[in-house]
Structure 1
Amino acid sequence: MTSSQKDQVLQELRSQIALANAQELMQKMSEKCFKKCIYKPGTQLDNSEQKCLAMCMDRYMDAWNTVSRTYNARLSREHSSGGLQ
């Protein structure tokens, strides 16, 4: 396998992993926010449910982004220091 082919395979794997992570994020966020905000499921969301869902999803995404940034920074530090500690 050529270097170009290896790079292409790695890029495809990264894309698949990113997609799987996004799907998992959406699934967990939907489950947790639904449990937190929807008390009486019906055909429509009332204003308080809509506001609760919006706030819940914003907080969940903020937390996810904070964890992701921190994890990536740690991986970068470990990589630059020569490996896992």
Structure 2
Amino acid sequence: MSDSESIKNALVKQVLQEANLANARVLIERLQDNCFEKCVPKPGTSLSSGETTCMTMCMEKYMAAWNQVNSAYIARIRQESNNQNQGF
């Protein structure tokens, strides 16, 4: 592998890592916005058992939806990439 290929691969890896980190930040922000507001109407020093259950269920649903959307998005990108490589 040439030096330019090594540099290119390192840059691609770094960009992917930064994109993954940004994705994680967005996910956490949206979880906080959606689930916390829904499940904790009056913030206090600790969560009640009902609030904890609500947060857990909300986060699980949100994560499942997020993963499903991400999977569909990745599949679409791969399909479009394959189509471009095949000349469609």
How high is the TM-score relative to the length of structure 2? 0.89
* Divergent runs of 4+, >3 A: none
Give % identity.
37
Which of the numbers 27, 44, 47 marks the counterpart of 1:45?
47
Separation in structure 1 between the aligned mates of residue 14 and residue 23 of structure 2, nearest angstrom: 14
Q: Secondary structure at the match of 1:2?
A: helix
Question: 1:23-75 CA deviation, whole Å, 9 max, x = no partner?
Answer: 11111111110111011111010000000000000000000000000111111
Which of the numbers 11, 30, 35 marks the counterpart of 1:9?
11
Separation in structure 2 between the aligned mates of residue 62 and residue 42 of structure 1, nearest angstrom: 28
After TM superposition, list the pairs within 5 Å mapping 1:1-80 onto structure 2: 2-80=4-82
Structure 2 residue runs of 5 or longer lacking an equivalent are none
Separation in structure 1 between the aligned mates of residue 65 and residue 53 of structure 2, nearest angstrom: 18
When the two structures are aligned, how many residues end up with a matched partner?
A: 84
